[in-house]
Chain A
Amino acid sequence: MDLLSPELGLFVWTLLAFLIVLFILKKFAWKPILNTLGERERGIADSIAAADRVKKEMAQMQNENEKLMVQAREERTQMLREAKQMSEQIIAKAKEDTRAITDKMITDAQQQITQQKMAALTDVKNQIGALAIEVAEKVIRQKLSSEDAQNAYNSLLSQEVTLN
């Protein structure tokens, strides 16, 4: 039992030493060590979280880029298609217009030609008529200077002009 009875002196000195050690270590060792460990852990956790976030953002950006590319491609195709259509339309319209104009021009020209032809013909007819009358007048004036000639001629004319 002697072994189990605690000595007062040892108890008191141990208590004193332990409490002083506790106090000193708390202030100069445990506090900086635990704080630093905590900080480091938080730092590591933050870095991992940040890396994850960046990764996600990158993925998102890539997605967006792809989407943009697809969209751009689609837009380009559409634009091309539209441009083609438009050019075809323009060409078709131009052709039509041209045809209309040429048709009109041709018709106009034909009309004009016909008009002018008719006018020319009338003119020619008139001139020929006038000429014939003039010739006839001259001839008649010369031939019909005597009475005989007048009779002879009358008979000839009456022979010639048969009613056919």
Chain B
Amino acid sequence: MRFVRILLTAAALITSSSLFAQHEEAPLNPAAPSEHQEEKKLDVAGEIFAHVGDSHEWHLFGIGGHPVAVPLPVIAYSPTKGLSVFSSSNFDYHDMEHHVAPDGKTHISNSYNGYHLERNIKEKLIADDGSKVYDFSLTKNIVCMLLSVALLLWIMISVGKKYGREGSGKAPSGFQNALEPVIMFMRDEVAKPNLGYQYMRFMPLILTVFFFIWINSLLGLLPFGFNFTGNIAVTLCLSVVSFVVMVAKGNKHFWTHLFNPPGVPLGIKFILVPIEIISLFVKPVALTIRLFANTLAGHIVILSFIFMIFIFGAISKVVGVVFIPLSVFFSIFMFFLELLVAAIQAFIFANLTAVFIGQSIEEDHHGSDDGHEHAHAVANEATGQDFHISPQELVA
């Protein structure tokens, strides 16, 4: 209980400080000089996408129009230039704000080492000569993810050591009390019902997926923060992991039902098998989109409420000032909601991973009664979908 209270307090503090961070960027608003005003006439969408997107530098805040940012290493490989490693400070982000491509939306940075950055919705590293670039830069998302992973490892290993040291004879204390119910919940409500007696084999995967997503979503809510679990590359990566496990552990029963469902007439098989194959690949896609969309939507909504101050401020300063409390209230409300969504989405991802693996390791225990099983699988899919809709609707 105390852990939750600390989290909520922290969340409240974070919300207020993130608002201050937003106020720091006041030069973007109509109070700025008129030529600036002309140039970036409240590009709200652009600003929001810049905040939720990835970046090659870690922008913290701006003071008097000058950004304060942590430069990050750019690691790129291109067939023409080979491997190049340099600092992102070689790109002038501040200058990039003013260089807009003829389409009026894409911002282009200076060129360095044969590369330049382009930002429309996402920021991309482009080779000047137009050749293909494999960008392995330690971007903001990656660096933040590594930091939160370090935190996760520190917490879990210290707790794990405590368990190893004290054994089962001692009552849990400290952080053990916070983690134990979560781990027990994942074991008893997620792993056991879906995976049956083999649940212990998949517990490490399910727990890691859950805590990895949860801690990254939570820390993503910090100011100067990142939008890691709201990035499709990340959610795709995680669902690829669970898809690989699911396919690799699939037993004979699973593959038979997929390619040659027993007790089904031949004509129906021609329809059923493609549907089954599609449903196999829909599973990881559903996982990918669900987490990505939920987290991204949450971030966008919070930012939108904050940008409302500037939108109304653009109409009239008075309206903008009047709108501040309302906007702050909505942002705080959304923030609490996002704390909830972070946990719910992490749980859903871990739960559906368990469900999908459970389907692929399910053993043939009822002979000819396969129609029932298909219905069961569909029902599982449907409940997962239902569960996913509710928070998303809330966010929307």
Contacts and interface: CB of A to CB of B under 8 A. Distances in A.
Interface string A6-46: 11111111110111011011101111111111011001000
B272 interface: no
Interface in B135-184: 135-139, 141-142, 145-146, 149, 152-153, 156-157, 159-161, 163-164, 166-169, 179-180, 183-184
A17 B215 CA distance: 14
Contact of B164 (A8, A13, A36): A36
A14 B238 contact: yes
Given A22-B204, A39-B168, A29 B142 contact: no
Interface residues of A, number: 35
Interface in B52-80: 54, 75
Interface stretch (B32-40, B217-225, B227-235, B384-392): B227-235
B122 A2 contact: yes
Nearest to A30: B204
A3 interface: yes
Contacts of A10: 54, 139, 141-142, 231, 233-234, 237
A146 interface: no
A11 to B, nearest CB: 4
A32 B160 contact: yes
A46 B226 CA distance: 48
B238 A25 contact: no
B161 A14 contact: no
Interface in B238-271: 238, 240-241
B163 A33 contact: yes
A125 B374 CA distance: 145
A30 to B, nearest CB: 5
Nearest to B241: A18
Do most interface residues of chain B lie in helix, strand or loop, or is the interface mixed?
helix
A4 interface: yes
B134 A8 contact: yes
Contacts of A14: 142, 145, 233-234, 237-238
Nearest to A40: B168
A5 interface: yes
Contact of A36 (B138, B167, B200, B233): B167
B212 A18 contact: yes
A14 B240 CA distance: 11
Nearest to A11: B233
A35 B203 CA distance: 11
Contacts of A8: 134-136, 233
B304 interface: no
Nearest to A13: B142
Contacts of A6: 231-233, 236-237
A35 to B, nearest CB: 8
B142 A9 contact: yes
Given A9-B136, A10-B141, A34-B200, A15 B237 contact: yes
Given A10-B141, A37-B180, A3 B234 contact: no
Contacts of B146: 17
B46 to A, nearest CB: 12
Contact of B161 (A2, A24, A28, A35): A28
B157 A24 contact: yes
B184 A37 contact: yes
8 contacts: A10-B139, A13-B136, A14-B234, A15-B237, A17-B142, A18-B208, A28-B160, A29-B156
